[in-house]
Amino acid sequence: MLRTRPPRHIAEIIHGPLNGTAVPGFTREIKRAMMKSVLSMGLPSMTGFLVMTLYEIVDMFWLARIGPEPVAAVTLCTSFIWMLAFSNMIIGPGSLAMISRRFGEGDLPRTELAIKNMFVLKFLFGLLFGLPVIPALPWVLDFLGASAEVQRLGVIYGTAELIMLGVAMTGYSVYTALRSIGKPVTALWLQIITTVVNCVFDPLLIFGIGPFPRLGILGAVLATAFAQLLVVILGLYALALPSSPVRVRWLHGRPFAAREMIQMLRIGLPAGINQLSFALATSLLVKIVAGYGTGVIAVYGICVKVMHFGIMAIAGLGLGTGALIGQYLGSKELHKAWLSAVLSIRLAGWIMIGYAVFLLAGAPLLVKAFFDDPALHQSGTIIIQILALSLPAIGIHIGAEIVFEGAGQNTPPMVLALIHAWVVMVPFLYLTGPILGGGPYAIMAALVVAHALGGAAALWLFYRGTWLRHEV
């Protein structure tokens, strides 16, 4: 899977004209060194995202103890809030590229300014895309097919989530900044601390244990909000320490630079459109699934969270190595950027193969752990097993996309994502579901085929090599 020896056109970008000579390979020593660099940057980020995603699964576990309605409410709200979070995907890739490139160039003052720009933009965009949308929540939930009780719970959950959207997006800035300046382990510890806090308060506030009030679904979102606020406070402090590779003086110097903010948004806009497109397509999938009843929505929501555990692991791995690729491109070490990218995508594919095997074997136990109702066990098991088949292609797709994010070239993946969502995925889903009358299993099978095609196309895009030439 993915040879480290580049094809001729890539080799000529890295080494210059070959004039008919053989494509040079890489020594075993440099491949080992690059794998060590990929693991040192990628594994802490991957572990951090796994820890955060584990909380999401724990959250759904406790809510499932109440019944399928809270799980369905969270599933529907999450699909909608993902659409609003596309602004995070505009700023995130742009800031990753700019911070890691400036750091790789050794320009610490501009690196510090880029970090400040990111924090300001994330918080303001979170407020802008969160608060004004709260009145529309009942209509959105009704459109997505929620029952009356699911709508009621969804309004409670979604309102609190939207109020805290600015803080949540700023929290992700902490992780991006620390990874981009070569401190992924610090980011990991912050993720561990805040996730532990989240997991502790979750059951206390949901069930009213001890002196805490019984808040149900509101308790789940308040526990999350407290953890998000904590990570922002700790992150601001960590970046301001004299020992930080880039010391951010929050109250001194320029608070932000409008021109560089615009550049950050310009770089990230295609990635934001990519995220919005995927979120819209996912919302349509949720709407189709909602037609089969609250129980199926709840089962699908758990399946998504279980799948999300593996997907976020790969996203974390990619974000760590994306920062590394940005640093190598900034320092003009193109051969290291290529090797890091290949090894990262290869690693993502193998990890997802392993996770897929785990889900195929463990699906029955996972479903029984969440639901006491035997009627949900069979459908949940089959849905997880079908969706597990798509994981290797998803891993390759995400790995290739994040290479482009690290390079700051987000337009080609955006075009691919639009085609994947609206020419392949959505038509497949509607064809197998509403048009041909297929059930949930047929829809999930269509999703697997769509992801397989998307992964193959992303790999082709990566091998074109345009990301190696891109300047920020």
Q: How far apart are CA 357 and CA 231, in angstroms?
A: 34
Whether the CB-CB separation of 359 and 388 falls below 8 Å is answered with yes
CB burial class (10 A; 0-12, 13-18, 19+) of residue 472?
middle
What b/e readout covers 72-99, taking b as 16+ CB neighbours within 10 angstroms? bbbbbbbbbbbbbbbbbbbbbbbbbbbb
| Residue numbers of the chain with a pLDDT score lower than 70 | 1, 472
What b/e readout covers 112-137, taking b as 16+ CB neighbours within 10 angstroms? bbbbbbbbbbbbbbbbebbeebeeeb
User: Which amino acid type is present at position 387?
Assistant: L
C-beta neighbour count of 53 within 10 angstroms: 22
Q: How far apart are CA 393 and CA 352, in angstroms?
A: 8
pLDDT at residue number 73: 86
Q: Where are the domains of the chain?
A: 8-469
Q: CA separation (Å) from 16 to 81, 182, 422?
A: 46, 29, 39
Whether the CB-CB separation of 143 and 205 falls below 8 Å is answered with no
Q: Is 147 left (phi over 0), alpha (psi -120 to 50) or beta?
A: beta
**Length of the chain in terms of residues written:** 472
Q: How far apart are CA 95 and CA 90, in angstroms?
A: 9
pLDDT at residue number 2: 77
What lies within 8 Å, CB to CB, of 271 at 6+ separation is 89, 90, 92, 93, 94, 405, 410, 413, 414
Least Cα distance to 7 among 328, 462, 346, 470 occurs for 462
Q: How far apart are CA 24 and CA 334, in angstroms?
A: 14
pLDDT at residue number 303: 79
Alpha helical stretches, state H, 131-257: 137-143, 148-163, 165-180, 184-207, 217-240
Q: How many Å is the Cα radius of gyration of the chain?
A: 22
pLDDT at residue number 248: 92
| Tokens describing residue 246 | 């880039």
Q: CA separation (Å) from 310 to 28, 109, 224, 396, 402?
A: 30, 37, 21, 12, 16
Q: How far apart are CA 421 and CA 280, in angstroms?
A: 9
Q: How far apart are CA 310 and CA 295, in angstroms?
A: 24
Task: Please give the sequence-ordered ranges of beta strands (E in DSSP) within 315-431, or none if there are none.
Answer: none
pLDDT at residue number 238: 93
What b/e readout covers 246-279, taking b as 16+ CB neighbours within 10 angstroms? bebeeeeeeeebeebbebbbebbbbbbbbbbbbb
Whether the CB-CB separation of 18 and 326 falls below 8 Å is answered with no
Give residue for tokens 């970008």.
13
Cα angle 418, 470, 115 (rounded to 5 degrees) comes to: 85
φ, ψ of residue 245 to 5 degrees: the values are: -55, -30
pLDDT at residue number 1: 58
| Tokens describing residue 383 | 């849905």
Least Cα distance to 449 among 472, 425, 431 occurs for 425
Whether the CB-CB separation of 340 and 376 falls below 8 Å is answered with no
